[in-house]
Structure 1
Amino acid sequence: MFLNLIDRSEPRIVRLEEPIRMIGVSTKTSLKTIYKDTMRLGEEYQKAKNLIRNKSIPWAFVAISKDFSDNNSRWEYLMGDVVTSFDDGISKGLVSFEIPAKTYAVFTIRPRFGFLWGLAIGLTKRYIYTQWLPDSKYDSDNTTIGDFEYHDERSVARKPSIDLYVSIKEKNQK
């Protein structure tokens, strides 16, 4: 029923040449609590976003999954604005993170309706990690980051879309 919500096209393989810096909020989450946690974290971000300095222009927002563990299915989830630097400091209660310059598979997500964002992202991630990666010439390279959503002006357009970046390395590569 929901299979037509995701795009099964081959992703773009890109190498980020420069890291992406973000300032925002963070929480620990799990497969059982991710939807509830993202709603709560989104509210926390909305309250704190005016405290974020050095926002990039044009505007961009990221939602990051890192430190995922297969043993307990828990990971850190961060969301916040892309910034040009951390030089002016980070307000109390906020966190910073630098998305590393490395190789990513980029999947574009285009939900049919705005209320389907969470479902479309979840189904796309399930497809990537259970079907695309095992059948591809890549492995997940989640040594510093698993994946991140990149939201920009396209995410608020009439026909919205975002890019989901998945950290990868060629199979059999250490």
Structure 2
Amino acid sequence: MSGLEVKLEYIDQQTIYGLWQKSNDKTISRDIKALSKQYHAVVSMPEGKVLPYFVLSRNYNEQSRDFELFIGSMIDKGGLESCVLAASEYAKITVKPKLGFLWGASIGEAKQYFYTKWLPKSSFEALNLEYEYHTERSTEKQPTIDIIFAIRRKAIN
């Protein structure tokens, strides 16, 4: 888990368009694959050609491990729902895939680092929304993606 760095970044409000689905820690890989395929069919574009591309989760329930999953981009097309990402300060971790193609392991490691190591020592709290932000960088020879976490400063008592 070494080498992970959390950077704070202000991101302007953006509206993204895509598809929602309920998901769970146990089914997330399958759900992302299926929802992504469905999304690409709606926008009539092959996978990897829609950039920037968002894989978002929100409203995580620690007891049931259920959450809402969203796959989308900036393309506004009939049949897609919108999601507004608020203008705010966010935490960002840039990750590389393990062995050149295993994104899941790298993303899981980054999320674990953020929630168990960085967040408890920071002056921030998580807002139960995070997303993978895929850009042209994710298709390069040495690919990377950003994992973005919605945060806010803790109230001072």
User: TM-score if structure 2 supplies the norm length?
Assistant: 0.86
Q: 1:148 is matched with which residue?
A: 131
Structure 1 segments (4+ residues) deviating >6 Å: none
Residues 98, 105 of structure 2: 8 Å contact kept: no
Deviation at 1:8, TM superposition (A): 2.1
Q: Secondary structure, in 3 states, of the residue corresponding to 2:44?
A: helix
Change (3 A) 1:173 1:39: farther
Change (3 A) 1:70 1:111: same
Q: 2:78 is matched with which residue?
A: 91
Deviation at 1:71, TM superposition (A): 3.4
1:93-141 CA-partner distances (Å, limit 9, x unpaired): x221111111101110111434311121122112211221112221102
Q: 1:63 is matched with which residue?
A: 55
Change (3 A) 1:173 1:22: farther
Deviation at 1:20, TM superposition (A): 1.6
- Larger strand proportion, structure 1 or 2? 2
Residues 64, 77 of structure 1: 8 Å contact kept: yes
Paired with 1:35 and 1:59, the residues of 2 have a C-alpha distance of 20
Q: How many residues align?
A: 153
Paired with 1:79 and 1:113, the residues of 2 have a C-alpha distance of 25
1:46 maps to amino acid? H
Residues 12, 105 of structure 1: 8 Å contact kept: yes
Picking from 72, 88, 106, the partner of 2:64 is 72
Structure 2: runs of 5+ lacking an equivalent:
none
Paired with 2:28 and 2:116, the residues of 1 have a C-alpha distance of 18
Q: 1:44 is matched with which residue?
A: 38
Identity of aligned residues (%): 29
After superposition, the CA RMSD in angstroms is 2.2
